[in-house]
Structures are given as C-alpha cells and as structure tokens.
A and B are shown apart, each in its own frame.
Chain A
C-alpha cells in the first residue's frame, strides 16, 4: 500500500512539474511563434501582390457550394477549400488586391496555394505554393516559375483547366491538376466572398 501511494505521488508530482515547465515555455515562445507565422504570411502576400504595405484579413462568409459540384460531399469539401482571405493595402490604404489560401489533395497529401488577385479587374497577379508533399524533382516542379506563371492574368471567366489554358507537367499530372483545381475552385469562392466581405 505504501509503495502504491509512493508511485502515485511521484508520478503525479513529475507530471505537475512537467506541466508547469511546459506552460511557462509555451507562454514564452507563443508570441514569437505567432509573430513568425504572421510575418511569413505577410511575406508571401508581398510575393503574390507586389506593392503591399499592410494587410488586413477579410472575414470569410459561410462559403456557398460551387454550382459545379452539386453532390453533398463536394459541398463539404468546398466549404473548407478557402481557409483565408487577406486584403492587401498600399501606402495610401487603397486596396491593391487580395490574396487567398486555397487547398486541394495532391499526389502526396494536401497542397496549399496562395493566390494573389488584383482589384478591381479581378485578375490573378501571381500564385505561390505554400505547402506541398509532392515527389521531389517530379511533382515538386509545380513550385517552378514556369508552371506558376501560366496563371498570371487569368480571371474567373477563364477555364483555368489543365491542357486548355494551363500546360501539363510531364509525369506530374496529378500535382499539376491539383494546383489548377485549387486555383479555379478557390477563385470561385474567394472572389464573391471578397466582394461580399468589403
């Protein structure tokens, strides 16, 4: 009985001290981690929308399902497709455009794309791949400027479809299609969301 009590007390004390140490470490590092994330995001927005001086997050309305995908499964997917819309402002606080994060399943897991859109013409200024798990040297070519630059200047009126206005990447169709779909379907959600959110 004494031995059991000792086990309980020792393990409890170790757990409590560990918890205390971790919560102190967390409160020390958390602000820095948040800063890092915010800075990285701002840098990415600057990359897709040159001329950005400050950013402002746009509230995401309940995302309406895309008319292309009437099935309930697709509705669910589209709801989570666009995770963030950020408005970018220049020196005089005038909007340069907005950027949004859109995702799609690639060949090696979820692929996140940041798309910059100029306003008021609603043309894509640039896209950048934030996160991907595609095969190095094959699918990872979606990160290359040659592939990404094909999206510049496209609008929701364009098909944004592989092999129509976007050239495929040999041997990496899944990856290329994932980016194309992410941009097209993301744009369909983000443009009305941005217009409605202002």
Chain B
C-alpha cells in the first residue's frame, strides 16, 4: 500500500510538472514533438530510478557533510551513461535532444527526490517514488508535446493527422508556444480539483 502511494503521488498529487512546477526547463525546451517528449521522459526516469536506488542504498555510508557532491557525482554518472548509450543507439533522437540530455544532471526533480526522499527512505520505496515521479514527468511531457506537435505541425508522432487544409501554428513549435501551452495546462490542472470539490459538496448537500 505504501509503495502504491509512493508510486501514484508522482503521477498526480505531487506531479513534478503540474503540481510542484520543478524541472520545467526541458518541459519547455524539448516538447516540440511527441517522440522528443517520450525520449526525454524515459531518459529522465532512468536517471531518477537509478540514482534514487543507489542513493538510498548508500544513505548510511555517505556522510551528510558531503552528501550533495556525492549525489551530484552519482547523478551525473547515470546521465553520462544515458548520453553515451543514446549517442550510440539512437543518434537521431540524441541530435534533437542535444544539450537537454546532459542537463538532466541539474534537473531539480532528480536532486530533489534524492535529497527529499531517497536519502531517508528504504530502497524499494525510493525506487517506486522515483518511478512515479519519472512517469509523472513523462506523461506531462507527452501531453504538452502532443498539443504542440498537433497544432504546430498538424502531426502526431510524425504522421499527418489534421490534413492539408490545416495551417500549422508555427508559434507552437517555438518557445512562446511552450509557455502558452504550459500556462493553459497548469490552469486546467488547477481547475480539475476545484470542479471535483464543487461536485462533491453539491452532492453531499443534496443528500
């Protein structure tokens, strides 16, 4: 039950993108197409899970005075592994994501989970916490990139879906499009719990 809670809180209640608003740099930067969004999400999730597991394992060994440098070394090791593997086996995606892959090392979601959770909790819980956070980050990226790819290019996953009659909104492929979409989505994400609460209080009054 605890593991399940650890896992699901990252998906919704403490979603890093829509609830905690951390790690937004890649969210704005790479979400021009769904493929980029998914790849970035998976790469970040891998780094999160590996670093959380290792940090949780070593929590008794690492003295608190050097914990931050130790975490950074561990995190950047995993990031470099991801980068090298991507370069070797997915060169096309690597060339698009470019600088955002090494920047995972300074993504505050990763260091945040290490500091706030993995350094205090048992290994298995930390793993589920990291997996939940990573997948929460991934679905946020996928949602944002689907909207941007659809409106910016009229495509989804590279396939044309809106037909030739649709004029692509070029702004969606650029930085302002990212900010506008993220802003509207954040508003929507705040609206959903409000609507649910209203609905609940109405139905309880009716009873």
- Spell out A's residues near B (CB within 8 Å): 3, 6-7, 10-11, 14-15, 18, 21-22, 25-26, 29-30, 32-33, 36, 40, 135-138
Contacts and interface: CB of A to CB of B under 8 A. Distances in A.
Interface residues of B, number: 24
A26 B70 contact: no
Contacts of B81: 21-22, 25
Interface of B: 58, 61-63, 65-66, 69-70, 73-74, 76-77, 80-81, 84-85, 87-89, 91, 168, 170, 173-174
Contacts of A10: 61-63, 66, 70
Contacts of A40: 91
- The list of the 5 closest CB pairs from A to B, nearest first, reads A32-B88, A29-B88, A18-B77, A137-B170, A29-B84
Given A18-B74, A22-B77, A29 B66 contact: no
Contact of B84 (A7, A33, A138): A33
B88 A14 contact: no
Given A7-B66, A10-B66, A136-B174, A15 B84 contact: no
A36 B80 CA distance: 18
Contact of B63 (A7, A15, A18, A138): A7
A18 B77 CA distance: 6
Contacts of A11: 66, 69-70, 73
Contacts of A26: 84
B70 A14 contact: yes
Nearest to B82: A25
Given A29-B87, A36-B91, A6 B63 contact: yes
25 contacts: A3-B65, A6-B63, A7-B63, A10-B62, A10-B66, A11-B73, A14-B58, A14-B62, A14-B70, A18-B73, A18-B74, A21-B77, A21-B81, A22-B77, A25-B80, A25-B81, A25-B84, A30-B84, A32-B89, A33-B84, A33-B91, A36-B91, A135-B174, A137-B168, A138-B170
